Structure 1
Protein backbone atom coordinates (compact mmCIF):
# COMPACT_ATOMS: atom_id res chain seq x y z
CA UNK A 1 0.00 0.00 0.00
CA UNK A 2 1.28 3.42 -0.90
CA UNK A 3 2.01 5.59 2.14
CA UNK A 4 0.12 8.87 2.39
CA UNK A 5 2.42 11.88 2.44
CA UNK A 6 1.93 14.49 5.21
CA UNK A 7 2.07 18.18 4.44
CA UNK A 8 5.65 18.30 5.75
CA UNK A 9 6.75 15.53 3.37
CA UNK A 10 6.89 12.73 5.98
CA UNK A 11 5.01 9.46 5.53
CA UNK A 12 1.68 9.21 7.37
CA UNK A 13 1.59 6.35 9.87
CA UNK A 14 -1.96 5.11 10.67
CA UNK A 15 -0.83 3.45 13.91
CA UNK A 16 0.78 6.64 15.16
CA UNK A 17 -2.38 8.57 14.30
CA UNK A 18 -4.50 6.09 16.27
CA UNK A 19 -2.18 6.35 19.28
CA UNK A 20 -2.36 10.17 19.20
CA UNK A 21 -6.15 10.10 18.96
CA UNK A 22 -6.36 7.75 21.94
CA UNK A 23 -4.07 10.05 23.93
CA UNK A 24 -6.23 13.09 23.14
CA UNK A 25 -9.41 11.21 24.09
CA UNK A 26 -7.90 10.15 27.42
CA UNK A 27 -6.83 13.74 28.12
CA UNK A 28 -10.29 15.09 27.33
CA UNK A 29 -11.87 12.48 29.59
CA UNK A 30 -10.02 13.97 32.56
CA UNK A 31 -11.35 17.48 31.90
CA UNK A 32 -14.42 18.24 34.13
CA UNK A 33 -17.54 19.13 32.22
CA UNK A 34 -18.89 22.64 32.88
CA UNK A 35 -22.55 22.84 33.76
CA UNK A 36 -24.62 24.81 31.24
CA UNK A 37 -26.73 26.18 34.08
CA UNK A 38 -25.65 29.50 35.64
CA UNK A 39 -24.33 29.62 39.16
CA UNK A 40 -27.21 29.83 41.61
CA UNK A 41 -27.60 31.53 44.95
CA UNK A 42 -27.02 35.13 45.96
CA UNK A 43 -23.47 34.86 44.62
CA UNK A 44 -24.81 33.92 41.21
CA UNK A 45 -27.15 36.91 41.30
CA UNK A 46 -24.24 39.25 42.05
CA UNK A 47 -22.30 37.78 39.12
CA UNK A 48 -25.20 38.76 36.85
CA UNK A 49 -25.57 42.35 38.07
CA UNK A 50 -26.20 43.66 34.56
CA UNK A 51 -29.17 41.33 34.08
CA UNK A 52 -30.41 42.21 37.56
CA UNK A 53 -30.28 45.92 36.68
CA UNK A 54 -32.25 45.31 33.49
CA UNK A 55 -34.83 43.27 35.38
CA UNK A 56 -35.30 46.01 38.01
CA UNK A 57 -35.67 48.68 35.29
CA UNK A 58 -38.20 46.46 33.54
CA UNK A 59 -40.27 46.08 36.71
CA UNK A 60 -40.18 49.82 37.48
CA UNK A 61 -41.12 50.75 33.92
CA UNK A 62 -43.96 48.22 33.81
CA UNK A 63 -45.49 49.72 36.96
CA UNK A 64 -45.98 53.13 35.34
CA UNK A 65 -46.67 52.08 31.75
CA UNK A 66 -49.63 54.07 30.42
CA UNK A 67 -49.61 56.42 33.41
CA UNK A 68 -49.77 60.16 32.73
CA UNK A 69 -48.00 61.21 35.93
CA UNK A 70 -45.64 58.24 36.04
CA UNK A 71 -43.14 58.43 38.92
CA UNK A 72 -45.00 61.40 40.40
CA UNK A 73 -47.44 58.90 41.88
CA UNK A 74 -44.59 57.60 44.03
CA UNK A 75 -44.65 60.97 45.79
CA UNK A 76 -48.38 61.61 45.74
CA UNK A 77 -49.37 58.34 47.42
CA UNK A 78 -47.10 58.59 50.52
CA UNK A 79 -47.77 62.33 50.78
CA UNK A 80 -51.53 61.77 50.99
CA UNK A 81 -50.94 59.05 53.56
CA UNK A 82 -48.83 61.38 55.66
CA UNK A 83 -51.45 64.14 55.66
CA UNK A 84 -54.14 61.57 56.40
CA UNK A 85 -52.26 60.40 59.49
CA UNK A 86 -51.82 63.99 60.64
CA UNK A 87 -55.56 64.60 60.29
CA UNK A 88 -56.72 61.33 61.90
CA UNK A 89 -54.26 60.90 64.73
CA UNK A 90 -53.20 64.46 65.54
CA UNK A 91 -56.40 66.40 64.87
CA UNK A 92 -59.27 63.90 65.02
CA UNK A 93 -58.14 61.48 67.74
CA UNK A 94 -55.95 63.96 69.57
CA UNK A 95 -53.00 61.61 69.98
CA UNK A 96 -50.66 64.37 68.97
CA UNK A 97 -51.30 65.93 72.39
CA UNK A 98 -50.34 62.79 74.31
CA UNK A 99 -47.54 61.65 71.97
CA UNK A 100 -45.38 64.30 70.39
CA UNK A 101 -45.20 64.25 66.57
CA UNK A 102 -47.26 61.08 66.40
CA UNK A 103 -47.65 61.43 62.61
CA UNK A 104 -43.90 60.89 62.20
CA UNK A 105 -44.15 57.93 64.59
CA UNK A 106 -46.74 56.37 62.28
CA UNK A 107 -45.12 57.31 58.98
CA UNK A 108 -41.65 56.01 59.95
CA UNK A 109 -43.21 52.68 60.88
CA UNK A 110 -45.31 52.66 57.71
CA UNK A 111 -42.18 52.90 55.58
CA UNK A 112 -40.81 49.72 57.16
CA UNK A 113 -44.10 47.87 56.89
CA UNK A 114 -44.60 48.93 53.26
CA UNK A 115 -41.11 47.76 52.33
CA UNK A 116 -41.80 44.36 53.87
CA UNK A 117 -45.30 43.81 52.50
CA UNK A 118 -44.47 44.95 48.97
CA UNK A 119 -41.34 42.80 48.88
CA UNK A 120 -42.99 39.56 49.92
CA UNK A 121 -46.08 40.19 47.78
CA UNK A 122 -44.02 40.83 44.65
CA UNK A 123 -41.44 38.21 45.61
CA UNK A 124 -44.10 35.53 46.02
CA UNK A 125 -45.30 36.03 42.43
CA UNK A 126 -41.89 36.86 40.97
CA UNK A 127 -41.14 33.44 39.47
CA UNK A 128 -44.62 32.57 38.23
CA UNK A 129 -45.06 36.08 36.79
CA UNK A 130 -41.78 35.78 34.86
CA UNK A 131 -42.15 32.15 33.83
CA UNK A 132 -41.66 32.86 30.11
CA UNK A 133 -38.50 34.88 30.74
CA UNK A 134 -37.17 32.23 33.11
CA UNK A 135 -37.55 29.46 30.54
CA UNK A 136 -35.93 31.47 27.74
CA UNK A 137 -32.93 32.94 29.56
CA UNK A 138 -30.09 31.31 31.46
CA UNK A 139 -29.97 33.24 34.74
CA UNK A 140 -30.12 32.40 38.44
CA UNK A 141 -33.75 31.95 39.41
CA UNK A 142 -33.08 33.75 42.70
CA UNK A 143 -32.70 36.90 40.64
CA UNK A 144 -36.47 37.42 40.48
CA UNK A 145 -37.12 37.65 44.26
CA UNK A 146 -33.99 39.79 44.63
CA UNK A 147 -35.27 42.12 41.90
CA UNK A 148 -38.59 42.42 43.75
CA UNK A 149 -36.72 43.56 46.86
CA UNK A 150 -34.70 46.14 44.91
CA UNK A 151 -37.85 47.51 43.27
CA UNK A 152 -39.43 47.96 46.71
CA UNK A 153 -36.30 49.74 47.94
CA UNK A 154 -36.33 51.96 44.86
CA UNK A 155 -39.89 53.09 45.60
CA UNK A 156 -38.91 53.84 49.19
CA UNK A 157 -36.94 56.95 48.24
CA UNK A 158 -39.98 59.20 47.62
CA UNK A 159 -41.14 58.36 51.14
CA UNK A 160 -37.71 59.34 52.45
CA UNK A 161 -38.00 62.69 50.69
CA UNK A 162 -41.38 63.40 52.29
CA UNK A 163 -40.16 62.24 55.69
CA UNK A 164 -37.02 64.39 55.39
CA UNK A 165 -39.13 67.52 54.79
CA UNK A 166 -41.24 66.71 57.85
CA UNK A 167 -38.11 66.04 59.94
CA UNK A 168 -36.60 69.41 59.00
CA UNK A 169 -39.86 71.11 59.93
CA UNK A 170 -40.02 69.39 63.35
CA UNK A 171 -36.37 70.02 64.21
CA UNK A 172 -34.90 66.53 63.87
CA UNK A 173 -31.64 66.33 65.84
CA UNK A 174 -30.21 62.80 65.60
CA UNK A 175 -27.00 61.42 67.07
CA UNK A 176 -24.84 58.46 66.03
CA UNK A 177 -26.95 56.13 68.14
CA UNK A 178 -30.08 57.13 66.26
CA UNK A 179 -28.40 56.69 62.87
CA UNK A 180 -27.08 53.27 63.91
CA UNK A 181 -30.60 52.30 64.97
CA UNK A 182 -31.98 53.22 61.56
CA UNK A 183 -29.28 51.28 59.70
CA UNK A 184 -29.84 48.22 61.89
CA UNK A 185 -33.60 48.42 61.53
CA UNK A 186 -33.50 48.52 57.74
CA UNK A 187 -30.88 45.76 57.66
CA UNK A 188 -33.22 43.53 59.66
CA UNK A 189 -36.25 44.16 57.44
CA UNK A 190 -34.28 43.81 54.17
CA UNK A 191 -32.69 40.47 55.09
CA UNK A 192 -35.92 39.13 56.58
CA UNK A 193 -37.94 40.19 53.52
CA UNK A 194 -35.46 38.61 51.11
CA UNK A 195 -35.44 35.32 53.04
CA UNK A 196 -39.24 35.08 53.04
CA UNK A 197 -39.39 36.20 49.39
CA UNK A 198 -37.11 33.33 48.33
CA UNK A 199 -39.13 30.69 50.14
CA UNK A 200 -42.53 32.05 49.16
CA UNK A 201 -41.55 32.35 45.49
CA UNK A 202 -40.85 28.61 45.40
CA UNK A 203 -43.99 27.85 47.38
CA UNK A 204 -46.08 29.80 44.86
CA UNK A 205 -44.81 27.58 42.04
CA UNK A 206 -46.05 24.41 43.75
CA UNK A 207 -48.98 25.87 45.70
CA UNK A 208 -50.75 28.76 43.97
CA UNK A 209 -52.71 29.59 47.13
CA UNK A 210 -49.51 31.00 48.66
CA UNK A 211 -50.09 34.50 47.28
CA UNK A 212 -53.59 34.60 48.77
CA UNK A 213 -52.28 33.52 52.16
CA UNK A 214 -49.62 36.24 51.97
CA UNK A 215 -52.31 38.87 51.29
CA UNK A 216 -54.26 37.73 54.35
CA UNK A 217 -51.19 37.78 56.59
CA UNK A 218 -50.22 41.26 55.40
CA UNK A 219 -53.57 42.57 56.67
CA UNK A 220 -52.48 41.77 60.23
CA UNK A 221 -48.93 43.11 60.02
CA UNK A 222 -49.92 46.77 60.39
CA UNK A 223 -51.59 45.97 63.71
CA UNK A 224 -48.88 43.57 64.90
CA UNK A 225 -46.23 46.28 65.13
CA UNK A 226 -46.17 49.58 67.08
CA UNK A 227 -47.36 51.78 64.24
CA UNK A 228 -50.96 52.82 64.92
CA UNK A 229 -50.19 52.74 68.63
CA UNK A 230 -47.01 53.33 70.68
CA UNK A 231 -45.03 50.48 72.19
CA UNK A 232 -45.79 51.87 75.65
CA UNK A 233 -49.42 50.78 75.18
CA UNK A 234 -48.30 47.17 74.61
CA UNK A 235 -45.99 47.28 77.61
CA UNK A 236 -48.74 48.62 79.90
CA UNK A 237 -51.38 46.12 78.74
CA UNK A 238 -49.10 43.08 79.01
CA UNK A 239 -47.39 44.35 82.19
CA UNK A 240 -43.84 43.65 81.03
CA UNK A 241 -44.56 40.30 79.34
CA UNK A 242 -43.67 41.51 75.87
CA UNK A 243 -40.99 38.99 74.87
CA UNK A 244 -43.30 37.26 72.40
CA UNK A 245 -44.33 40.59 70.88
CA UNK A 246 -40.70 41.66 70.50
CA UNK A 247 -39.75 38.28 69.01
CA UNK A 248 -41.29 39.59 65.79
CA UNK A 249 -38.38 40.93 63.63
CA UNK A 250 -40.74 43.40 61.95
CA UNK A 251 -41.64 44.94 65.31
CA UNK A 252 -37.94 45.24 66.20
CA UNK A 253 -37.21 46.89 62.85
CA UNK A 254 -40.09 49.35 63.31
CA UNK A 255 -38.90 50.33 66.79
CA UNK A 256 -35.32 50.82 65.57
CA UNK A 257 -36.44 53.05 62.70
CA UNK A 258 -38.67 55.04 65.06
CA UNK A 259 -35.65 55.40 67.33
CA UNK A 260 -33.85 56.92 64.36
CA UNK A 261 -36.51 59.26 62.97
CA UNK A 262 -39.24 59.85 65.54
CA UNK A 263 -37.39 60.01 68.86
CA UNK A 264 -34.98 62.81 67.76
CA UNK A 265 -37.97 65.02 66.91
CA UNK A 266 -39.29 64.99 70.49
CA UNK A 267 -38.42 67.70 72.98
CA UNK A 268 -37.13 65.28 75.64
CA UNK A 269 -35.51 62.32 73.90
CA UNK A 270 -34.48 60.51 77.07
CA UNK A 271 -38.01 60.61 78.41
CA UNK A 272 -39.39 59.39 75.07
CA UNK A 273 -36.94 56.47 75.07
CA UNK A 274 -37.81 55.58 78.65
CA UNK A 275 -41.57 55.68 78.01
CA UNK A 276 -41.93 54.35 74.46
CA UNK A 277 -38.88 52.21 73.68
CA UNK A 278 -38.21 48.70 75.08
CA UNK A 279 -35.11 47.88 77.08
CA UNK A 280 -32.08 46.48 75.23
CA UNK A 281 -33.43 47.57 71.85
CA UNK A 282 -30.09 47.26 70.06
CA UNK A 283 -29.48 43.81 71.51
CA UNK A 284 -32.89 42.69 70.31
CA UNK A 285 -32.16 44.20 66.90
CA UNK A 286 -28.85 42.35 66.58
CA UNK A 287 -30.53 39.09 67.57
CA UNK A 288 -33.25 39.73 64.99
CA UNK A 289 -30.63 40.40 62.31
CA UNK A 290 -28.76 37.19 63.19
CA UNK A 291 -32.02 35.22 63.04
CA UNK A 292 -32.86 36.81 59.68
CA UNK A 293 -29.44 35.84 58.30
CA UNK A 294 -29.92 32.24 59.47
CA UNK A 295 -33.36 32.24 57.85
CA UNK A 296 -31.79 33.55 54.62
CA UNK A 297 -29.34 30.62 54.57
CA UNK A 298 -32.20 28.18 55.16
CA UNK A 299 -34.27 29.88 52.45
CA UNK A 300 -31.40 29.57 49.98
CA UNK A 301 -31.10 25.85 50.72
CA UNK A 302 -34.85 25.35 50.32
CA UNK A 303 -34.77 27.27 47.05
CA UNK A 304 -31.85 25.18 45.75
CA UNK A 305 -33.62 21.98 46.82
CA UNK A 306 -36.66 22.64 44.62
CA UNK A 307 -35.02 24.79 41.94
CA UNK A 308 -34.65 22.02 39.35
CA UNK A 309 -38.34 21.16 39.59
CA UNK A 310 -39.51 24.71 38.88
CA UNK A 311 -39.45 24.58 35.05
CA UNK A 312 -41.62 21.45 34.82
CA UNK A 313 -44.16 22.90 37.26
CA UNK A 314 -44.38 26.17 35.33
Structure 2
Protein backbone atom coordinates (compact mmCIF):
# COMPACT_ATOMS: atom_id res chain seq x y z
CA UNK A 1 0.00 0.00 0.00
CA UNK A 2 1.26 3.41 -0.94
CA UNK A 3 1.85 5.67 2.01
CA UNK A 4 0.24 9.08 2.09
CA UNK A 5 2.30 12.23 2.40
CA UNK A 6 1.13 12.81 5.99
CA UNK A 7 1.75 9.29 7.27
CA UNK A 8 5.14 10.28 8.63
CA UNK A 9 3.42 12.76 10.93
CA UNK A 10 1.20 10.14 12.53
CA UNK A 11 2.27 8.63 15.84
CA UNK A 12 0.90 6.01 18.14
CA UNK A 13 -1.46 7.73 20.61
CA UNK A 14 0.08 8.32 24.03
CA UNK A 15 3.59 7.59 22.85
CA UNK A 16 5.88 10.33 24.06
CA UNK A 17 9.50 11.35 23.77
CA UNK A 18 10.30 11.78 27.43
CA UNK A 19 11.78 15.01 28.69
CA UNK A 20 11.96 16.37 25.14
CA UNK A 21 8.17 16.64 25.21
CA UNK A 22 8.36 18.68 28.40
CA UNK A 23 10.62 21.18 26.63
CA UNK A 24 8.33 21.35 23.62
CA UNK A 25 5.36 21.95 25.94
CA UNK A 26 7.16 24.50 28.09
CA UNK A 27 4.20 26.91 27.87
CA UNK A 28 2.05 24.31 29.64
CA UNK A 29 4.86 23.64 32.11
CA UNK A 30 4.99 27.36 32.92
CA UNK A 31 1.24 27.40 33.57
CA UNK A 32 1.47 24.44 35.97
CA UNK A 33 4.37 25.99 37.87
CA UNK A 34 2.58 29.33 38.07
CA UNK A 35 -0.58 27.68 39.38
CA UNK A 36 1.29 25.71 42.04
CA UNK A 37 3.26 28.71 43.26
CA UNK A 38 0.14 30.87 43.50
CA UNK A 39 -1.72 28.19 45.48
CA UNK A 40 1.03 28.15 48.13
CA UNK A 41 -0.09 31.41 49.75
CA UNK A 42 -3.64 31.71 48.49
CA UNK A 43 -5.77 33.47 51.09
CA UNK A 44 -2.69 34.72 52.96
CA UNK A 45 -2.49 38.39 53.96
CA UNK A 46 1.29 38.66 53.70
CA UNK A 47 1.68 36.22 50.80
CA UNK A 48 5.26 35.76 49.59
CA UNK A 49 6.57 37.78 52.54
CA UNK A 50 6.39 34.56 54.56
CA UNK A 51 9.03 33.05 52.25
CA UNK A 52 11.48 35.64 53.56
CA UNK A 53 10.31 35.67 57.18
CA UNK A 54 10.69 31.92 57.74
CA UNK A 55 14.43 31.64 56.92
CA UNK A 56 15.10 34.83 58.88
CA UNK A 57 13.43 33.32 61.95
CA UNK A 58 15.37 30.10 61.34
CA UNK A 59 18.60 32.08 61.40
CA UNK A 60 17.71 33.76 64.70
CA UNK A 61 16.83 30.40 66.26
CA UNK A 62 20.07 28.80 65.05
CA UNK A 63 22.13 31.80 66.12
CA UNK A 64 20.71 31.95 69.64
CA UNK A 65 19.85 28.32 70.47
CA UNK A 66 22.72 26.56 68.70
CA UNK A 67 25.38 29.20 68.33
CA UNK A 68 25.08 30.88 71.74
CA UNK A 69 23.35 28.46 74.14
CA UNK A 70 25.00 25.29 72.82
CA UNK A 71 28.18 27.22 71.98
CA UNK A 72 28.54 25.60 68.56
CA UNK A 73 30.12 28.80 67.26
CA UNK A 74 33.25 27.65 69.09
CA UNK A 75 33.59 24.59 66.87
CA UNK A 76 32.32 26.15 63.60
CA UNK A 77 32.53 29.91 63.07
CA UNK A 78 29.34 31.61 61.92
CA UNK A 79 27.52 28.37 62.67
CA UNK A 80 24.06 29.83 62.03
CA UNK A 81 25.05 30.80 58.47
CA UNK A 82 26.78 27.45 57.97
CA UNK A 83 23.73 25.43 58.95
CA UNK A 84 21.24 27.69 57.14
CA UNK A 85 23.23 27.48 53.89
CA UNK A 86 23.23 23.67 54.07
CA UNK A 87 19.57 23.42 55.06
CA UNK A 88 18.59 25.66 52.14
CA UNK A 89 19.93 23.29 49.48
CA UNK A 90 18.76 20.15 51.29
CA UNK A 91 15.26 21.63 51.70
CA UNK A 92 15.22 22.22 47.94
CA UNK A 93 16.11 18.57 47.36
CA UNK A 94 13.57 17.26 49.87
CA UNK A 95 10.70 19.34 48.49
CA UNK A 96 11.49 18.54 44.85
CA UNK A 97 11.95 14.81 45.54
CA UNK A 98 8.94 14.33 47.83
CA UNK A 99 6.54 16.40 45.72
CA UNK A 100 7.82 14.77 42.53
CA UNK A 101 7.05 11.36 44.00
CA UNK A 102 3.46 12.41 44.78
CA UNK A 103 2.94 14.47 41.63
CA UNK A 104 1.38 11.75 39.47
CA UNK A 105 -1.02 10.58 42.18
CA UNK A 106 -1.95 14.17 43.03
CA UNK A 107 -2.78 14.84 39.36
CA UNK A 108 -4.61 11.54 38.76
CA UNK A 109 -7.80 13.25 37.57
CA UNK A 110 -5.93 15.15 34.86
CA UNK A 111 -3.87 12.15 33.76
CA UNK A 112 -6.99 9.99 33.33
CA UNK A 113 -8.81 12.61 31.25
CA UNK A 114 -6.29 13.84 28.69
CA UNK A 115 -2.87 12.96 27.36
CA UNK A 116 0.04 15.26 28.07
CA UNK A 117 3.70 14.55 28.80
CA UNK A 118 3.50 12.89 32.23
CA UNK A 119 7.12 13.81 32.96
CA UNK A 120 5.83 17.34 33.24
CA UNK A 121 4.52 16.70 36.76
CA UNK A 122 7.83 15.68 38.41
CA UNK A 123 9.63 18.43 36.50
CA UNK A 124 7.09 21.05 37.56
CA UNK A 125 7.44 19.87 41.18
CA UNK A 126 11.18 20.49 40.95
CA UNK A 127 10.67 23.96 39.46
CA UNK A 128 8.11 24.89 42.11
CA UNK A 129 10.58 23.81 44.80
CA UNK A 130 13.23 25.95 43.10
CA UNK A 131 10.94 28.99 43.10
CA UNK A 132 10.24 28.41 46.80
CA UNK A 133 13.97 28.13 47.53
CA UNK A 134 15.03 31.40 45.89
CA UNK A 135 13.69 33.65 48.72
CA UNK A 136 15.61 31.57 51.27
CA UNK A 137 18.82 31.95 49.25
CA UNK A 138 18.25 35.71 49.12
CA UNK A 139 17.86 35.83 52.91
CA UNK A 140 21.01 33.75 53.50
CA UNK A 141 23.02 35.94 51.13
CA UNK A 142 21.69 39.12 52.79
CA UNK A 143 22.68 37.81 56.23
CA UNK A 144 26.13 36.83 54.95
CA UNK A 145 26.58 40.34 53.53
CA UNK A 146 25.84 41.77 56.97
CA UNK A 147 28.65 39.61 58.38
CA UNK A 148 31.16 40.72 55.75
CA UNK A 149 30.52 38.39 52.81
CA UNK A 150 33.09 39.12 50.07
CA UNK A 151 33.08 36.17 47.67
CA UNK A 152 34.99 35.68 44.45
CA UNK A 153 33.24 35.06 41.13
CA UNK A 154 34.02 31.34 41.46
CA UNK A 155 32.39 31.24 44.88
CA UNK A 156 29.30 33.02 43.57
CA UNK A 157 29.13 30.53 40.66
CA UNK A 158 29.19 27.65 43.15
CA UNK A 159 25.67 28.56 44.33
CA UNK A 160 23.81 28.05 41.00
CA UNK A 161 26.05 25.06 40.29
CA UNK A 162 24.80 23.41 43.48
CA UNK A 163 21.21 24.21 42.51
CA UNK A 164 21.60 22.64 39.06
CA UNK A 165 23.19 19.52 40.55
CA UNK A 166 20.32 19.02 43.01
CA UNK A 167 17.71 19.87 40.35
CA UNK A 168 18.95 17.09 38.04
CA UNK A 169 19.32 14.59 40.88
CA UNK A 170 15.91 15.33 42.46
CA UNK A 171 14.12 15.26 39.09
CA UNK A 172 15.55 11.83 38.29
CA UNK A 173 14.57 10.45 41.69
CA UNK A 174 11.14 12.11 41.45
CA UNK A 175 10.47 10.45 38.10
CA UNK A 176 11.74 7.07 39.33
CA UNK A 177 9.79 6.93 42.59
CA UNK A 178 6.84 8.83 41.14
CA UNK A 179 6.34 6.14 38.50
CA UNK A 180 6.67 3.36 41.07
CA UNK A 181 4.35 5.18 43.48
CA UNK A 182 1.47 4.98 40.99
CA UNK A 183 1.29 1.22 41.45
CA UNK A 184 2.95 0.75 44.83
CA UNK A 185 2.02 3.55 47.25
CA UNK A 186 4.63 2.21 49.68
CA UNK A 187 7.17 4.16 47.61
CA UNK A 188 5.86 7.39 49.10
CA UNK A 189 6.54 6.19 52.64
CA UNK A 190 10.01 5.03 51.62
CA UNK A 191 10.73 8.47 50.19
CA UNK A 192 9.68 10.10 53.45
CA UNK A 193 12.38 8.09 55.22
CA UNK A 194 14.99 9.16 52.64
CA UNK A 195 13.96 12.80 53.02
CA UNK A 196 14.19 12.52 56.81
CA UNK A 197 17.73 11.13 56.57
CA UNK A 198 18.93 13.50 53.84
CA UNK A 199 19.85 16.30 56.24
CA UNK A 200 22.15 13.92 58.14
CA UNK A 201 23.66 12.26 55.06
CA UNK A 202 25.54 15.42 54.13
CA UNK A 203 27.53 18.04 56.13
CA UNK A 204 24.62 20.25 57.14
CA UNK A 205 24.58 20.00 60.94
CA UNK A 206 28.27 19.12 61.22
CA UNK A 207 31.58 19.70 59.43
CA UNK A 208 32.99 17.18 56.97
CA UNK A 209 36.14 16.86 59.11
CA UNK A 210 34.04 15.10 61.77
CA UNK A 211 33.24 12.37 59.24
CA UNK A 212 36.79 12.12 57.94
CA UNK A 213 38.14 11.60 61.44
CA UNK A 214 35.68 8.79 62.29
CA UNK A 215 35.46 6.60 59.19
CA UNK A 216 37.96 4.82 56.90
CA UNK A 217 39.19 6.69 53.83
CA UNK A 218 37.21 4.51 51.42
CA UNK A 219 33.98 5.15 53.33
CA UNK A 220 34.70 8.88 53.36
CA UNK A 221 35.08 8.70 49.56
CA UNK A 222 31.66 7.04 49.33
CA UNK A 223 30.29 9.79 51.56
CA UNK A 224 31.65 12.42 49.15
CA UNK A 225 30.10 10.63 46.17
CA UNK A 226 26.61 11.32 47.53
CA UNK A 227 25.48 14.21 45.24
CA UNK A 228 24.01 16.05 48.23
CA UNK A 229 27.42 16.25 49.92
CA UNK A 230 29.18 18.30 47.19
CA UNK A 231 25.96 20.30 46.66
CA UNK A 232 25.92 21.31 50.33
CA UNK A 233 29.63 22.07 50.23
CA UNK A 234 29.16 24.21 47.11
CA UNK A 235 26.71 26.32 49.11
CA UNK A 236 29.17 26.46 52.01
CA UNK A 237 31.96 27.38 49.62
CA UNK A 238 29.85 30.13 48.07
CA UNK A 239 28.15 31.65 51.12
CA UNK A 240 29.98 30.60 54.29
CA UNK A 241 33.62 30.00 53.36
CA UNK A 242 34.24 33.62 52.16
CA UNK A 243 33.62 34.71 55.78
CA UNK A 244 37.03 33.15 56.55
CA UNK A 245 36.14 31.04 59.61
CA UNK A 246 39.00 29.79 61.73
CA UNK A 247 40.83 26.67 60.52
CA UNK A 248 38.13 25.85 57.94
CA UNK A 249 38.76 24.31 54.55
CA UNK A 250 36.34 23.28 51.78
CA UNK A 251 35.67 19.61 51.18
CA UNK A 252 38.80 17.89 49.79
CA UNK A 253 38.67 17.52 46.00
CA UNK A 254 35.39 19.47 45.96
CA UNK A 255 35.47 20.12 42.22
CA UNK A 256 36.42 16.56 41.33
CA UNK A 257 33.61 15.13 43.45
CA UNK A 258 31.22 17.73 42.04
CA UNK A 259 32.02 16.36 38.58
CA UNK A 260 31.36 12.81 39.74
CA UNK A 261 28.17 13.99 41.43
CA UNK A 262 26.92 15.35 38.10
CA UNK A 263 27.70 12.00 36.47
CA UNK A 264 25.67 10.29 39.19
CA UNK A 265 22.82 12.78 38.88
CA UNK A 266 22.61 12.39 35.10
CA UNK A 267 22.70 8.59 35.47
CA UNK A 268 19.83 8.75 37.99
CA UNK A 269 17.91 11.01 35.60
CA UNK A 270 18.42 8.53 32.75
CA UNK A 271 17.31 5.60 34.93
CA UNK A 272 14.32 7.57 36.17
CA UNK A 273 13.31 8.41 32.61
CA UNK A 274 13.69 4.78 31.48
CA UNK A 275 11.57 3.40 34.34
CA UNK A 276 9.04 6.20 33.89
CA UNK A 277 8.70 5.48 30.16
CA UNK A 278 8.27 1.77 30.79
CA UNK A 279 5.53 2.19 33.41
CA UNK A 280 3.63 5.20 32.07
CA UNK A 281 1.40 3.02 29.89
CA UNK A 282 -0.29 1.80 33.11
CA UNK A 283 -0.63 5.16 34.81
CA UNK A 284 -4.24 5.86 33.81
CA UNK A 285 -5.29 2.29 34.65
CA UNK A 286 -3.53 2.15 38.05
CA UNK A 287 -4.62 5.61 39.08
CA drift of 1:210 comes to 1.3
State which drifts further: 236-245 or 213-222. 236-245
Residue in 2 that maps onto 1:15: none
CA drift of 1:136 comes to 2.4
In structure 1, runs of 5+ residues without a counterpart are 1-24
* 1:247 equivalent in alignment to 2:247: no
Task: Measure the CA separation in 1 of the matches of 2:182 and 2:245.
Answer: 51
What are the Cα deviations for residues 228-276 of structure 1, in whole angstroms up to 9, with x where unaligned?
11111112222645112212111121112111111001256xx421xxx
Q: Secondary structure at the match of 1:305?
A: helix
Q: Secondary structure at the match of 2:58?
A: helix
Q: How does 1:21-170 map to 2 (within 5 A)?
A: 26-28=2-4, 31-32=7-8, 33-37=10-14, 39-170=16-147
Task: Measure the CA separation in 2 of the matches of 1:29 and 1:36.
Answer: 19
State which drifts further: 145-154 or 69-78. 69-78
- Please say if residues 38 and 140 of structure 1, whose CA atoms lie closer than 8 Å, have aligned partners that are also in contact: no
Task: Measure the CA separation in 1 of the matches of 2:260 and 2:156.
Answer: 18
Q: Which has the larger radius of gyration?
A: 1
Q: How does 1:127-276 map to 2 (within 5 A)?
A: 127-238=104-215, 240-241=217-218, 242-266=220-244, 271-273=247-249
Residue in 2 that maps onto 1:279: 252
Task: Measure the CA separation in 2 of the matches of 1:290 and 1:27.
Answer: 44
Task: Measure the CA separation in 2 of the matches of 1:111 and 1:48.
Answer: 30
Residue in 2 that maps onto 1:299: 272
CA drift of 1:55 comes to 0.6
CA drift of 1:30 comes to 8.6
Task: Measure the CA separation in 1 of the matches of 2:59 and 2:86.
Answer: 12
- Please say if residues 184 and 285 of structure 1, whose CA atoms lie closer than 8 Å, have aligned partners that are also in contact: no
Specify whether residues 34 and 237 from structure 1 end up closer, same or farther in structure 2 by C-alpha distance, changes over 3 A only: closer
Root-mean-square deviation (CA, aligned residues, Å) is 1.9
CA drift of 1:140 comes to 0.2
CA drift of 1:137 comes to 3.0
Residue in 1 that maps onto 2:282: 309
Task: Measure the CA separation in 2 of the matches of 1:250 and 1:304.
Answer: 26
State which drifts further: 68-77 or 209-218. 68-77
Task: Measure the CA separation in 1 of the matches of 2:22 and 2:15.
Answer: 9
Question: How many residues matched?
Answer: 285
CA drift of 1:187 comes to 2.1
Task: Measure the CA separation in 2 of the matches of 1:109 and 1:267.
Answer: 16
- Please say if residues 141 and 239 of structure 2, whose CA atoms lie closer than 8 Å, have aligned partners that are also in contact: no
CA drift of 1:57 comes to 1.3
TM-score using structure 2 length: 0.93
In structure 2, runs of 5+ residues without a counterpart are none
